[in-house]
């Protein structure tokens, strides 16, 4: 089972690498604004989870920087996710705003939130 999972994971990463979406172009000014907005965000993920790949591809497309936390291999990340978010499900977006921390699960919700926030820089 573990071997099959590893093979599938390798295929997912290979296909993802071959078919990366085109990145949005950002000016230096936009880059500064975006980095300021994403500074307090983190994505908790498993490297080969297809739902995480979907979110990572959107982050790549939007050309934004959000740190990735490996909740499968990093015990600290897994603990933070379970204690903060309430369950060990990935992907999960941790957002810290005005001193408040929120945890967003579900790849579709995360991508909708990121698109809404970052397709147009204000």
Ligand X SMILES: N[C@@H](CCC(=O)N[C@@H](CS)C(=O)NCC(=O)O)C(=O)O
Tell me if residue 12 falls in helix, strand or coil: helix
The residue among 60 and 88 lying less far from ligand X, judged by its C-beta, is 88
For 54-80, letters b (16+ CB in 10 Å) and e give: bbbebbebbebebebbebbeeeebbeb
The residue among 35 and 109 lying less far from ligand X, judged by its C-beta, is 109
When asked if residue 89 is in the footprint of ligand X (CB under 6 A), the reply is yes
When asked if residue 90 is in the footprint of ligand X (CB under 6 A), the reply is yes
CB 121 within 8 A of CB 30: yes
Nearest distance, CB of residue 114 and ligand X, angstroms: 13
The residue among 61 and 91 lying less far from ligand X, judged by its C-beta, is 91
Using CB under 6 A as the binding rule, the residues of this chain from 44 to 73 that contact ligand X are 46, 49, 51
When asked if residue 85 is in the footprint of ligand X (CB under 6 A), the reply is no
Of 114, 18, 22, 29, the C-alpha closest to 66 is: 114
When asked if residue 37 is in the footprint of ligand X (CB under 6 A), the reply is no
Work out the number of other CB atoms within 10 angstroms of the CB of residue 2.
Answer: 6
The residue among 65 and 108 lying less far from ligand X, judged by its C-beta, is 108
Of 85, 82, 79, 80, the C-alpha closest to 103 is: 85
Q: Enumerate binding residues for ligand X (CB under 6 A).
A: 46, 49, 51, 88-91, 106-108
């Amino acid at each position: 089972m573990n071997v099959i999972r590893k093979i599938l994971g390798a295929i997912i990463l290979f296909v993802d690498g071959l078919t990366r979406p085109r990145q949005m172009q950002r000016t230096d000014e936009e880059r500064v604004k975006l980095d300021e907005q994403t500074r307090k965000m983190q994505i908790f993920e498993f490297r080969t989870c297809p739902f995480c790949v979907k979110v990572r591809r959107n982050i790549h497309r939007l050309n934004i920087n959000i740190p990735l936390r490996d909740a499968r291999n990093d015990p600290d990340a897994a603990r933070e996710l379970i204690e903060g978010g309430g369950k060990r499900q990935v992907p999960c977006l941790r957002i810290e705003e005005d001193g408040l921390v929120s945890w967003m699960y579900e790849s579709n919700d995360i991508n909708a939130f990121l698109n809404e926030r970052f397709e147009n820089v204000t």
